[in-house]
A and B are shown apart, each in its own frame.
Chain A
Amino acid sequence: MKVDQVLNVLKAALGEGLAHTEVRVRRVGAKAPVELKEIWAEIDRDAIVPAVAALKALGPLHMSVISGQDAGERIELLYHIAVGYGTEGGEVMVTLRLAVPKDDARVPSICHLIPGAETTEREKIEFLGVEFVGIPDSRHVFLPDDLPVHPWRKDEPEMERFLRRMVEWEGKDG
């Protein structure tokens, strides 16, 4: 799998939906370092499904994880996807970045394309309060079902109080 090939496929599939792409180079190896390229792309929210579909058509696909950040007014999600495992050095790491406004934090789910993405999508629901449209199961994974806060949201006044109370009690144990 070549980086250009992946880029072209993404461009063809997304068109306008692909806001920005960047190829980052990583020097890998100790004695004779080689350059390893990875793709970082910014896409529209609705472009995530066609993007993943295009990558899936390209070769064996591995969904690593979705990471996310509360960036003030928006919530940013980064899909870390690797295309083309099975050959030596043949895998290309693609990071798709998309942002959703906080008052409308909805993203289409990619579970129908990659069933294995369910755990990580569910995790984003509980930690960032993002809604994934079309996810087969939206229960919490790691946090208790009745936890009122989304811990990675920075506008959660409840979280600070919650934490302070736990830390205070922690101190009284010894």
Chain B
Amino acid sequence: MAEAENTFRIPIGPIHPALKEPIRLSFQVEGERIVGVEIRTGFAHRGIEYMGMRRNLIQVLYLAERICGICSISHPIALTQAVEQAAGIEVPPRAQYIRVIISELERIHSHLLWAGVAAHELGFDTLLHLTWKVREKVLDILEELTGNRINYAIPIYGGVRRDIAPDQHPKVQDTIRYYRGLLDELLDTFLRDPSVEARTRGVGVLEPEEADALCAVGPTARASGLAKDVRQDRPYLAYGELGVKAITPRDWGLEPRGDVYDKIVVRLLEVGQSLDLIERALLEMPDGEITSFPKIPALLAHLKKAHGEGLGWHEAPRGEVIHYVRLEAGVEEPVVWKVKAPTYSNLMSWEPMFEGQEIADIPIIAASIDPCICCMDRVHMVRDGSEATMHKEELLRLSREKTRRITDHGSRITGLGGVR
């Protein structure tokens, strides 16, 4: 760089208010303009695939659910499909519809969560609080249907664990009506607000060619105008029958530009799409069994005998999730388990999006792909500035030392804030 003396480095992360999860973005800036970015991930790597390859498949299912709190049904859906293909298990029609309903409800809650975060990154906290307030309703219905606000524990190999009872239908329909009424208001507040538009138009542009070359997925790719949606491209569950079309900004009457504004458009329109899907799925859901293996021991025995490999995929709120599983007869745990989360694919799209932008745009661009670091990172290690790995013993020793230092003389309010 010719003007190297004019540039300086700004570290964003691993811990930073703009990031909800740990990742390190190291920016080379010239004044307010970004001239280079270096991305370092792995701060939330927990070795989940490694753990999974040492546990039986039922345990793996629960582990998959905990890869990420926000996409806590996307990973199980992809995993169950992979295992079902590997072990040759059929899923009853009703179970397929229930999986669709829960995963679309999750999409609504995830997109609303994102909209709130995006507003916060723009410094528009009112919008954050209002979006998150209305998000409570979908969490309530998820709790009603599954027993949990997140980590629903609904899919199991061969079906689902809970049925949707007839008396729950009106509650779901209520929720749909509530959001239908609200959606126009949401679209209006986000897309017609001049200050939001001033901060998002032309910011963090991802050209369609770049999105294609970098294999971007989900709303990140769709905002650039690529009609890429796993539910449409490679139908699974009941999605083929329900008919899903990939949503791009064209559905809002705009030519896609691939900027942050377009990403808001796509995500908000997808909330509407999910509402339609839930409504139709609820109406068309056939009666019948919800699982082909009502007894867990029988399922485990079947899985132990199974030999084969399978791929399962799902369009998570953030994009394509794909799981690959290989089973061997006589072994309870999967021999291979590979998880690919959407952020894994979208990671590289960050670079062209950051280039040439301003420091002020960093948070919203970072947020625009809706990064889910825990999904992506999936050894518990903490590093200091040096290149040496800090082991846990050392860390524990340091933290105890600090505690002692504080309790000895630092805090004047012992008993309140001091640790004994």
Any A–B CB pair closer than 8 Å: yes
Give the distance to chain A from B384, nearest Cβ to Cβ, in Å: 12
* Known interface pairs A31-B93, A144-B42; A26-B85 also in contact (CB < 8 Å): yes
Name the A residues within 8 Å of B311 (CB-CB).
38, 80, 93, 95
* Contact residue among A30, A64, A88 (Cβ-Cβ distance under 8 Å from B237): A30
* CB of B41 closer than 8 Å to a CB of A: yes
Which of A24, A31, A145 has the largest count of B CB atoms less than 10 A from its CB?
A31
Name the A residues within 8 Å of B313 (CB-CB).
64
- Flag if A114 contacts B215 (CB, 8 Å): yes
* Known interface pairs A147-B389, A166-B392; A118-B41 also in contact (CB < 8 Å): no
- Flag if A151 contacts B42 (CB, 8 Å): no
* CB of B401 closer than 8 Å to a CB of A: no
- Flag if A146 contacts B388 (CB, 8 Å): yes
Interface residues of A (CB under 8 A from B): 24, 26-32, 34, 36, 38, 60, 62-65, 67-69, 78, 80, 82, 84-91, 93, 95, 114-120, 140-147, 151-152, 165-166, 169-170, 172-173
* Contact residue among A34, A63, A143, A169 (Cβ-Cβ distance under 8 Å from B379): A143
* Known interface pairs A82-B234, A85-B233, A116-B214; A65-B344 also in contact (CB < 8 Å): yes
In the assembled complex, the Cα of A169 lies from the Cα of B382 at a distance in Å of 14
Give the distance to chain A from B11, nearest Cβ to Cβ, in Å: 17
- Flag if A31 contacts B241 (CB, 8 Å): yes
* Known interface pairs A30-B96, A114-B213, A116-B216; A85-B340 also in contact (CB < 8 Å): no
Please report which residues of chain B, range 279-304, place their CB below 8 angstroms from some CB of chain A when the two chains form the complex: 284, 286
- Flag if B241 contacts A30 (CB, 8 Å): yes
Question: Can you give 5 contacting A-B residue pairs, CB < 8 Å?
Answer: A31-B286, A62-B215, A63-B215, A64-B313, A86-B246
Name the A residues within 8 Å of B96 (CB-CB).
29-30
* CB of B186 closer than 8 Å to a CB of A: no
Closest to B84 in A: A26
Contact with A along B215-255 (1 / 0, CB 8 A): 11100000000111000111111101101011000000000
Give the distance to chain B from A135, nearest Cβ to Cβ, in Å: 13
In the assembled complex, the Cα of A119 lies from the Cα of B324 at a distance in Å of 17
- Flag if A80 contacts B324 (CB, 8 Å): yes
The total of interchain contacts (Cβ-Cβ below 8 angstroms) comes to: 150
Question: Other than the known A30-B286, A31-B286, A115-B213, what 14 A-B pairs have Cβ atoms closer than 8 Å?
Answer: A30-B93, A64-B340, A65-B338, A69-B326, A80-B324, A85-B233, A86-B226, A86-B233, A114-B213, A143-B42, A144-B379, A145-B387, A146-B387, A147-B389
Name the A residues within 8 Å of B348 (CB-CB).
115-116, 118-119
Name the B residues within 8 Å of A64 (CB-CB).
215, 313, 320, 322, 340, 345
- Flag if A166 contacts B324 (CB, 8 Å): no
Closest to B93 in A: A30
- Flag if A169 contacts B47 (CB, 8 Å): no
- Flag if B381 contacts A144 (CB, 8 Å): yes
* Contact residue among A86, A120, A146, A151 (Cβ-Cβ distance under 8 Å from B47): A151
